[in-house]
Amino acid sequence: MELTQHLRSRHLDLDLHRPIIDDEEGVATFYLWNLSGQMVGYQHYRPSADKGMKNHPKLARYCTIRNTSTVAIWGLESLHLTPNVLFVTEGVFDACRLTELGVSAVAVLSNDPSPDVLNWLRMLNRLVVTVCDNDSAGKKLAKFGDVAVFTDQHDLGDSSAEFVQNLVDKYVR
């Protein structure tokens, strides 16, 4: 399967999120931004790479490089003024499950984001729903939301369309 088709199968809206796709290398690059609109890092995704290899730029399935002295968020392009809800996930493809339904969702690329992320979420003046992986790491992310929802599978990417739709329906009025 070509990389573009694979990304679509993972619910990525290519018109909204616009990753850099290198079919020859088999890698998609997602840029990370701070809250002032500056690029502060990126995440490479290589679906054919070894899942066990951690954060290696050429060998890992996921490799995240970012400036650790600032907030780095993926998905800011999905923020809407209404409805007054923001879904927060750990990973890019978890957030994609939500943005494909037209709601605001960001990935913080960690289960334990910095205090600056928590401060930003609090000042948004909107309901923050953390959608947490169903594991011990998810429990860490839960503290960053007004409401924490744990997935019915390991993560939101593995959850059924019905689960995701019910989640959106419950919080978006």
From edge to edge, which strands make up the β-sheet containing 127-132? 105-107, 85-89, 127-132, 147-150
The SS3 of residue 106 is strand
Q: Considering only CA atoms, which of 144, 163, 143 is closest in space to residue 153?
A: 163
Q: Using 50 as the pLDDT threshold, list the residues of the chain that sit under it.
A: none
CB count within 10 Å of CB 61 equals: 17
Domain boundaries, the chain: 3-66, 76-171
Q: How far apart are CA 89 and CA 75, in angstroms?
A: 10
Task: Give the global pTM.
Answer: 0.91
What are the φ/ψ torsions at residue 57 (nearest 5 degrees)? -60, -25
Structure confidence at residue 36 (pLDDT):
86
Structure confidence at residue 13 (pLDDT):
94
Say if domain 76-171 classifies as CATH 3.40.1360.10: yes
Sign of CA dihedral 16, 41, 26, 94: negative
